[in-house]
Amino acid sequence: MTAMIRVDNLCKGFTLHNQGGVSYQVLNQVSFSVARGECVVLDGPSGSGKSTLLRSLYANYKPESGRVWIRHNDSEIDLVSALPRDVIDVRKHTIGYVSQFLRVIPRVSTLDVVMEPARRLGVSREDSLARAQDLLTRLNIPERLWSLAPSTFSGGEQQRVNIARGFVVDYPVLLLDEPTASLDAGNRDVVVDLIRGARNRGSAIVGIFHDADVRNRVADRAIALSARKTHVAAEETQA
Ligand SMILES: Nc1ncnc2c1ncn2[C@@H]1O[C@H](COP(=O)(O)OP(=O)(O)OP(=O)(O)O)[C@@H](O)[C@H]1O
């Protein structure tokens, strides 16, 4: 089985410079891999580091040590040590990231927001539009809203626009940070179908799902993160 993601001994902590330089370790030598067509969920109590790990997989956070190998253009690239321009290329072609919240750009229509990742990859406007319309329809966004900027949309509507944007490209790797957090049961079912579809097309998926029902329906297995954080006294950090 081809590993799309290989996490090797990842360590990530934080130092709160404005709070006496207190440091604590959140991820302690985390290792796992995710194959093509596999959906893995991150499990663990609140504060155990699920979002920190997901952000590290997208190179939003820089771990102190360890590796995040991503299969990209028929070879592997380590996102911990990659140059910024390589990170941008991996994000454009290989990794999709769906967070809970849509980053709204004023005056850009919903259709353009959803189409943008496909257009950036060179997909024709016609094909991108068809794909965006299909996703918005499936996700029950009323057609009257498609030409409006989503800044005034409800939380659940914005979340569904964000999901449509995340699924408009068939990314080989998909990172999902609570994509169903503010959705009703009907829309959760749509998202479950989208996730299963992406998995069946070969995406390697890592997700955080607080909804146990959604988690059980999409997960092939879970990675457990422990709640225990190692605190490092400020004096020790400064030594
Ligand atoms: N940017 C940051 N700066 C400082 N501390 C942070 C930062 N991001 C996360 N943390 C800390 O790391 C720990 C893990 O946070 P994280 O959000 O990864 O947990 P989580 O498992 O996703 O929690 P939840 O289920 O509540 O969303 C928390 O104690 C949090 O305060």
Give residues with Cβ within 8 angstroms of 90, minimum separation 6: 59, 70, 72, 77, 79, 82
Distance CA 26, CA 163 (A): 28
Residue nearest ligand 1's atom 2 by CA: 14
Cα(125) to centroid(ligand 1), Å: 39
Probe residue for ligand 1, chosen from 52, 58, 211, 230 as the CB with the greatest number of ligand atoms within 8 Å: 52
Tell me if residue 128 falls in helix, strand or coil: helix
Q: Contact at 8 Å (CB) between 117 and 165? A: yes
Distance CA 10, CA 90 (A): 19
Task: Specify the length of the chain in residues.
Answer: 239
**Total Cβ atoms within 10 A of residue 73:** 10
| Token pair of 55 as six digits | 């952000």
The percentage of the chain sitting over the pLDDT mark of 70, rounded to a whole number, equals 94
Residue 44 Cα: closest atom of ligand 1: 21
What pLDDT sits at residue 21?
Answer: 81
Cβ(187) – ligand 1 distance below 6 Å: no
Cα(13) to centroid(ligand 1), Å: 10
In this prediction the ipTM stands at 0.96
Query: What are the pLDDT digits (tens) for 86-126?
Result: 999 999 999 999 988 777 777 899 999 999 999 999 999 99
What pLDDT sits at residue 24?
Answer: 86
Distance CA 80, CA 4 (A): 15
Burial (CB < 10 A; 0-12, 13-18, 19+), residue 226, is exposed
Cβ(156) – ligand 1 distance below 6 Å: no
